[in-house]
Amino acid sequence: MTKLALKNQVDDLLDSFRNQYRGRSKTPLPELRAAYDRLLMKVLSLLQDADRALARDIVSSREAIWGILSDPKKFSENNLMAGA
């Protein structure tokens, strides 16, 4: 159940970015960043004991991932516009 809930939350966040870049939403970038940070904290809390190496990799990639999500061109170049 947890994996499905996380997948849905990731999909919802990506949909928020898609809507932003398609002009369908006026959600400010700081709000999207807050949602991204909350989701990463949730993932990290689940991984911290089960897979420390993966948790460490996610922490070290956090800003790089944000860089892709927050840049419409990079978002599109990484085929993230597909979907909803």
What does the block give as tokens for 1? 């159940």
- The whole domain housing 53 covers 2-19+30-77
Find the DSSP H helices in the chain.
2-21, 29-47, 52-69, 72-77
Is the pLDDT at 3 greater than 90, yes or no? Answer: no
Is the pLDDT at 84 greater than 80, yes or no? Answer: no
Q: Is 57 within the bounds of a domain?
A: yes
Q: Is 25 within the bounds of a domain?
A: no
Q: Is 84 within the bounds of a domain?
A: no
- Give which of 19, 75, 13, 20 is closest to 41, Cα–Cα: 13
The pLDDT tens digits for 16-75 are 999 999 999 989 999 999 999 999 999 999 898 899 999 999 999 999 999 999 999 999
What is the pTM assigned to this prediction?
Answer: 0.89
Q: What is the pLDDT of residue 2?
A: 86
- Give which of 4, 58, 69 is closest to 35, Cα–Cα: 69
Residue 1 pLDDT grade (very low, low, confident, very high; cuts 50, 70, 90): low
